[in-house]
Structures are given as structure tokens and as C-alpha cells.
Structure 1
Amino acid sequence: MKYYYSNQATKTDSIPKEVTDFIKFVNDSPSPYHAVEEARLRLVQAGYEEIKERDCWVGKLRNNGKYYFTRNKSTIVAFAVGGKYVPGNGVSIVGAHTDSPCLKVKPISKLQKVGYLQLGVQVYGGGLWHTWFDRDLSIAGRVMVETSENKFEHKLIKVARPILRIPTLAIHLDGSVREAFKFNNETHLTPLLTTATKSLIGNSDEEKNEKHHPIFLNLLAEELGCNTVNKIHDFELCLYDTQPSTIGGLCNEFIFSARLDNLMMSFTALTALINGTRDTSETLCDDSNIRLISLFDNEEVGSQSAYGAGSSLLESTLRRLCSSKVGASEDVEISQTIFEETIHKSFLISADMAHAVHPNYCEKYEENHRPQMHKGVVIKINANQRYATTATTSLVLREAAKKYNVPLQEFVVKNDSPCGSTIGPMMSSNLGIRTVDVGNPQLSMHSIREIAGTDDVDHAIKLFQGFFESFAKIDQNVIID
């Protein structure tokens, strides 16, 4: 018997650079803190200058300048000032989020049962928690470390090897799992750390801790290079799957990965901003707007935090840009209504992953709105304002998509189904800014392992880049007042 193999199925050197770059980005970003740091490093490499929210911006910003700042180290804002920008002009914005559903270590995590040491965790967001069972898990996040007397620093930590696991119960002991897998998030979703017997090796009584297992703290200290666990004062740690993101599918057409929602949209927004603002970019010099991305934390739990989209972060940023006098001489008086003028000349793309049609559950999708991978970025629409898209804002997006011939699709949820939401409606209502909701199509949303299409990485980058480069001119031709 002869076997025939397709060259397309085995060839990997044809995978686009932006896809392999995204794979690296998501593998290096097991927590929002890591995602922000990865974004920051890319911005610095592209010539972006750090500014601080606590400092005065007046006189520090300039036309064609590129800047960024972080808040809580889990949210990042970056912007580039157009060469023809003057106070009162618009801001072209893409907003996304850095967080994903996960398990987070409790403030008191020390648990022990029947010879096992366990780690107490709490659920974050609306995850498909059954997908977290029987996975090789580890921890990542930030630790507050005392570096010298009364000096404390935020340090990133990522334990690269699997140290945790949430085992399922054998089918022999629970035959009901044949019909349904039911579990309690508090009692059954607790990972194993080690056995009590092994934990005693090399741990003295002096290392006892009331809140966390000494062996766990010793691991943190070792990873951070601390000479003692007493240097560790607090931490925010999440669990993550150690299996790396990868390209899959017969024709290398899929991305199998954790945290596609929403690191893919964060990555594509970041890449589009950088691509369109390189030193050789003539479009920034000719732009009369400011180009801005804002990658927020805490979207998965409602965005109501000091660094979430429901905060005053973006509003205060826009107000400061309006009053910074960038693009104007020092003796020019700034209008008292300049912020309101700017808002009505600005536009927000709310970028969050969308639902691709599932071949095994087609009945769950409205028959005329079934997005597919590789066929373009999805415009999300909901009559009940779960998404902020309007006829006007979708028109602007379609015009922006023409610059790089980006295909677009539409999604509407069925009338008998619930509908998710995004930062779009929240920011649109808070700021009064024109907003459109979009996202790349994916399957297994909120699973520990999700699926998206490789072509759609490039689609989103080009859509956002086209928007940044052409919105100011498009806006002159869209008359709705």
C-alpha cells in the first residue's frame, strides 16, 4: 500500500512571521503582568518613550512623538502623536484587554488533606473550569519583594515547569460522569502541590508559615533569587497551562493556545500601532490625529477597577492629551470645551475575540450570522447594546478595512440565547465616543485551550493599521450631525 503526503500539510516554513511572533507573545504572557511587560518591551524597541501618570505632561509631548505608560503593571496605554495634530483634533483608539479567565492563588493558600499538600485557589472570570482538570499547571504573576531596607519592588515570576495538577475522579468511583461532569468549584477545583511526605525533605521547623506552605514559598524565593522567603511580602499569582501555544491543523491553519481571548486582539492592536509608527512611516507625519491603544486589565470580571476599562483611566488620559498643548505654541489658550470637541472627533474600536461557528453545534448560531475562521474580522452587533456597534461606526470600520483589503464578517446572537459583552458599551456610554465592537473568530472561548485561525492574525493587524492611518480622513467624509 502506498501513502501520499501533501507538502502543504507538513511544511512549516510558510507560516507567516506575525503568527510565529504572536505564538511567542502569548507563550511569554502567562499573566496580565507578563503581557504588559512584553508589550512594553516591544514599544521600547520601536522607539516609544515612557511617561508617568504622576508627572506633568505639558511641554513634554511633541508631534511625531511616541509614548507609553502602565498602571498597576497590568494595564498599558501607548500613543503616537500625528505630525499635523493640534489641540482639539481627534484620537484614533483601539481598546482590548490583557486578562483571561484563570485560577488565582488565595491570600491564605495553605491546605492539606489525607497526605497531600494543596494550593487554595479562587476562580477569576467565567472560565470553562472543567477544562482545567488533568492539565500540567504552574504559576505566574507578580511578587512584591524587599530589595533593600524598606525598599520594595514588583518582580515578575513564571515557574516554567509543571508543579500543580487538578486530578479528576476515576470513572469507577463516579459513574455519573458518563452523563455529566459535575463538580464544586471550591472543593473539587483545588490543585495538588506535593505529598506531605516529600514536603518535609529539606524543610525545618523554622520555615513554618501560617498562610502558605513553606515549600511553596521556598520555590518562589528560589525563582526570584531571594536569599530568604522573608523578602517576599505579597504576591498576585495565577495558574497557567505549561503546554505552550502552537500551530496545528492539517494545513497549519489553526492556533491552539491558552488566552487567545484576549491576547490575540491585544497583540494585533499593539503590532498595528508599532507598524504604522516606525521611523520611516510617512503616514504618522501626515496624520492630524493621535493614535492610541489601551490594553486594560479586569475585563473578564466587569472592568470595575482602577486599571479596568470602567475606570477613569482613558478619560483622564484624553483630558491630559487635550491640555498638554502638543502641536500648539505655548501662548495658545486651550478652549474650556476642548475635551468635548476631541471626543466627538474621536473613534474607538473595542477589540475582543468573537465566536466562530462550531460545526458540532450549528443550531446555537443565528443562521445568517455564522463567522468562520480565515474569512475576516467579525463586526459584533446587538440590538440590546451588549455591543456598541451602530450603522455609522460599522461604516467607518468598513472604510478603514478598504485600505488593506481586509475581509469582514458580522455576528448577531440568536434571540433565544444570552449575549456576552465587551468594554465597548461601557466606554461608549461613559465617554460619549463613537464605538464599534470587533474581534477575530475563535472556538472554545474561555477554555484553558482555545482555537483560532492563523490568517486572522494578519487580518486584525491590517484592519487596525488601516484604521490608524486613514480614520482622520474618513471622518471628514462621514457626516451625521
Structure 2
Amino acid sequence: MRRAIRPVTFVAVARACTERARFRARRPSASLMKTAKSLSSRSEVALCRAARAPSSPSTLHVSMRSSSPLAARSNVLARGSSTNATRSTSDASALGLIDYLNDSWTAWEATESSVKILEAAGYVRISEHAEWSDLRAGGKYYVTRNQSALVAFAVGGKYAPGNGFNVIAAHTDSPCPKLKPVTKIKKGGFMQVGVQTYGGGLWHTWFDRDLSVAGRVLVRRGEKLSHELVRVDRPIIRIPTLAIHLDREISTNGFKPNTETNFAPILATAIRGELETTTEGAAHHALLLSVLAEELGCKPDDIADFELNVCDTQPSVIGGAAREFIFSGRLDNLASSYCGVQALVAATSDAKLANQPGVHMVALFDNEEVGSNSYYGGASPMMFDSIKRAAKALSKSAPGEGGEGLVERTIRNSFLVSADMAHALHPNYMDKHEENHQPKMHKGMVVKHNANQRYATTAVTGYLFRECAKMENVPTQDFVVRNDMGCGSTIGPIVAAGVGIRTVDVGIPQLSMHSVREMCGVEDIDICLRHFTAFYDNFAKVDSTVTVD
């Protein structure tokens, strides 16, 4: 839970900053920055920067959904350099994702961001700890687990017991360093923070970045303990590389850092952080706890424990000379998560939902990057539990009887789209793709195939997914890995085997997967949204034309 920001008057702040900027060059002057510093609220500073931008008033936009000035600045960067012409649907979809990414540094924040979208569309929170007896046709619901995983579903107005669930599943986690249980390190006159690697990251890309921390903190509030989300918006840590003068072999052997000995971020110099005098034997630097306490609005002693990720503070932006790319961390797999949630909302308007015979669902799991083996991961029964409980509850309120094998019939009539990012063709490494399967940006969703079941796609499930797209003139592509290379995997095979549900593996093409800064196409976000919405809208009709078993 972040500190509330003090209300500001947008017009007054914008007018004041614009007046000063009228006589300034584009580059911020010292006097203008001094004026900005005098504004007490962080959001006021963000507004001042926005008002100073050389764009026209129609392009001025600051997201107030988050108190992050970096998120606000990224919105200005994304919009400020464009013309005043009406934005295309692709731009609008991409800008929505930009906001989502900047609001979602962690799996907890991604779940929180998804909840906000769902609640704005009329979805109601239900609890796994309570009965679901009030579920009704036409209802919209969601449930969370561990604050980092989510299942949301909407019941069609023409639902009958045994009808299928149409599911899009993605994941909320991304590779990153995470703080160790004991983070306190003092070496060479520096205060450092101990971290452990999470997932298969390209760890060399985390060096020389302006980093911070975000995550979940267990805080004492009176006699109770509460889990609260925290984010430090400013850069507070850095992992510096070794100068080439001290490691000449790097030119021939490459940069191969040891993630245990070379990967500890620097927090401060020891002499600057001499708050440590009374914390000998403590698990964490007092300076780190002080920074967290300031964000949480509590005392350092009130922090009982935490789960914190190391995060890159550079905002997500639209880039490229033609403004056709998205540069960001965590595209794998927040791009899929965002598109899944937004497509669910688009496909479950009251008018559309009234004529649907099935249940539309999105499932966002945590811990995919480390195997999905947690009670809130893809290998958990979370999605199956939700389908089973919903099917049983709806059988009591929907027309008809549940009858024998209600849950089993429901599963056999259901379908899962496992949505994870795909590898776009890299112009500098074209030999890494099989010659007949080279997915490209702006060319459609990628249907992923693997004979060894690293992906769950079959001829039938691939056909069904493509046919839904064809009905809306949405393009698709295919991917198969080279025989002489290993193949990654997704939650697709895990959920398909665990639940017994028909599954297709698909993804948005991207470059730099698992880097601290990844890259995908602007148009591909809109293509994904259109395809996912087409799946929800058309699957029942397409499925009725195919008979297997």
C-alpha cells in the first residue's frame, strides 16, 4: 500500500510551469528545476515536467493512477513526440500497455493493475475462503491468490450446465534479482545488498542500470500485521561493471559475470550510511529499512519481513524512428497478461455476454519463470478449482440439471489459450530460426509447435485458434524450433496435463527475451487484443464445426 499523494490543481501547476518554460530552451534550466523542486508533491513535479514539454496541449497527458513520477514521465515521452493527428487503434492499445507496464514492476503490482481494469468493467471480487453459491448467468467475477495470481470469469447469459470455459492464461512474473533473506553486505567501504537470481535472466544486461526495489512488505500496524505493496521510485542501487582497464580479457572471452560474487548491488558508501552503529548482527542495512519505511509511512522497526525484487527504473516507452516498437522490461509476460485481461473485458460487455453460451475466463499465474510449482503457479489447481466451483455453483442457478460428470463434461468442452511471448526473427542472428518458421513483428500472433510437447499445440487446437482469427481477418504465424537447438516451454503443457483441457500455445513476437529491456512491435499489441477478443467471441461457433472423439 503506497502513501497517498496530496491533491494538486492541474491547471494551476501546468500554467505556472508553462509560463516559465515559454522563455526557456527545450533543455530544463537550473532555475526551472529549482522551481520544480519547490513543489512539495511528487505528482506536482511530474505535472510540471509534463507542462514544460514542447508538445501541444492536446498531447499532454499524465497518468494519475500511480504516484510514480517515472510512470508519469513515460506517458509524456510516449505521447509528447507524436503529432496531433487522431491516434490509430494500434497506438491506443500500445499506450494502454505502456501504462500497465509502468504500473507493474512486480507480479503483485501486475495483479493489482489487472484488478483495477476488471473492477472498472464491473467485475466483482469473490473469495476462495467463502461459498460461491451466488454465481449467476451474466455475472462477472474474479479471485486472487497470494496477491500475485488471478482468475477472472464472466458467465454467458445463455449458459447451461456442462458448457465450456474459454480460457486465456498468462503469467505475471519475469526474471529479476530478488533480495536474499539476509541482504546486509559491507565490503571495500561500500554497503551492498545481497540478491539471488530468479528465473533465467540475461543477467549481464542488469549491470550499469539505475535500479531500485519493489515488492511486498509485512508491516506491523498496531496489533496486526498486514501485507503491503511498496515501490521506491528513485534509483537507489546499482551493479557496476569492472572497467576494461582492469579486465582486458573481456574483449576476447566476453562478459561472463559470476552472479554470486559479481552481482551484489551497491546501496551506499559505508561512511554515508553510518546509521549502522546500532544494527550489528541485523539482517539488513538500516539505511535500506529506512528507505522502505519512508515509502510505507511506518517506522523501520515496524517492518517484520519483506519480499522484494530488484527493478529497473527506466520507464517503458514507444520508440524507433517510426514509433513502431515498445521498449520495456517485463514484456515477457505482462504484454500477454494485459491483452488477456483487456480482451476479456471487451468480450464481456453486457450486450455480448447476454448471447454467450459459455464462460469466458482469464488466468494469470505466478512463478512460471521458475517452473510453476507453487500454490499460485500454473501447476497449482487454482484454475481448475475455479472452473470446478463455478460449474457446480452455476448448475444450481442455470436452467437444466448438472447431472452426472458435470465437471468432467465442462472440462472436455473447454479450451485454453496459453499465451506467452514468442521469439521474433532477429536480423543479426537469422540462423537461430528454422528457415520455414521465422515469425516477424507486425505479422500476427505466433502459434507455437513442438513434437516433444514443450508446447501443447495440436493440429486441432491450432486450427481452432487460427479459425477464430480468420473470422475477424486477423493474421497468424507459426513457430517451431530448430532440431539442433533446445526449446523453451510454457504453462501450456503443465495445465493441459494437469487439468485435461485442450490447449494451444501462442505468443506475441519479441526480441531480447529475458533482458532487463525487451522489445516488441506496437501493432502486435492491437493484433493480440483483436485475436484474443475474436477467440472469446467466436470459439463456440468454430468449435461446433469440429468433432474429435
* TM-score relative to the length of structure 1: 0.94
Please give the residue correspondences for 1:220-235 in structure 2 after superposition, counting only pairs within 5 Å: 220-226=292-298, 228-235=299-306
1:377 offset after TM fit, Å?
0.5
> Could you say what secondary structure the match of 1:406 adopts?
coil
- 1:142 matched to 2:216: yes
Please give the residue correspondences for 1:17-36 in structure 2 after superposition, counting only pairs within 5 Å: 17-36=92-111
Gaps of 5+ in 1: 1-8
- 1:264 matched to 2:335: yes
Q: Which runs of 4+ in 1 moved over 3 A?
A: 9-15, 204-209, 326-330
One of 476, 483, 508 as aligned partner of 1:408:
476
- Deviation string 1:239-272 (CA, Å, 9 cap, x unpaired) is 1110001011111000000000000000000000
Larger relative contact order (CA 8 Å, sep ≥ 6)? 1
CA contact (8 A) 1:62 1:326 kept: no
- Deviation string 1:121-177 (CA, Å, 9 cap, x unpaired) is 00000000000000000001111111121x111111110000010000000000111
Q: What letter matches 1:163 in structure 2? A: I
Q: What letter matches 1:93 in structure 2? A: V
Distance across 1 between alignment mates of 2:103 and 2:195? 22
- Residue 250 of structure 2 is matched in structure 1 by 177
- Residue 536 of structure 2 is matched in structure 1 by 468
- 1:157 matched to 2:230: yes
Q: What letter matches 1:415 in structure 2? A: N
> Could you say what secondary structure the match of 1:139 adopts?
strand
- Deviation string 1:374-432 (CA, Å, 9 cap, x unpaired) is 00000000011100000100110011102321110000100000100000011111111
- Residue 5 of structure 1 is matched in structure 2 by none
1:336 offset after TM fit, Å?
3.9
- 1:321 matched to 2:321: no
Please give the residue correspondences for 1:11-160 in structure 2 after superposition, counting only pairs within 5 Å: 11-12=82-83, 14=87, 16-58=91-133, 60-149=134-223, 151-160=224-233
Gaps of 5+ in 2: 1-79
Distance across 2 between alignment mates of 1:424 and 1:433? 10
- Residue 376 of structure 1 is matched in structure 2 by 444
Distance across 2 between alignment mates of 1:126 and 1:181? 17
1:69 offset after TM fit, Å?
0.8
- Residue 3 of structure 1 is matched in structure 2 by none
> Could you say what secondary structure the match of 2:174 adopts?
coil
CA contact (8 A) 2:137 2:394 kept: no
Q: What letter matches 1:244 in structure 2? A: P
Distance across 2 between alignment mates of 1:424 and 1:435? 7
Distance across 2 between alignment mates of 1:124 and 1:461? 29
- Residue 23 of structure 2 is matched in structure 1 by none
> Could you say what secondary structure the match of 1:175 adopts?
coil
CA contact (8 A) 1:12 1:252 kept: no
Name the structure with the higher helix share: 2
- 1:458 matched to 2:526: yes
CA contact (8 A) 1:63 1:326 kept: no
CA contact (8 A) 1:62 1:327 kept: no
> Could you say what secondary structure the match of 1:168 adopts?
coil
Count of aligned residue pairs for this structure pair: 465
* TM-score relative to the length of structure 2: 0.83
CA contact (8 A) 1:371 1:378 kept: yes
- Deviation string 1:197-239 (CA, Å, 9 cap, x unpaired) is 1001xx374455610000100111110000x212111111001
> Could you say what secondary structure the match of 1:69 adopts?
strand
- Residue 368 of structure 2 is matched in structure 1 by 299
- Deviation string 1:33-86 (CA, Å, 9 cap, x unpaired) is 00000001111111100000010102x111111000100000011100000112
- 1:276 matched to 2:326: no
Q: What letter matches 1:343 in structure 2? A: I
Q: What letter matches 2:374 in structure 1? A: S
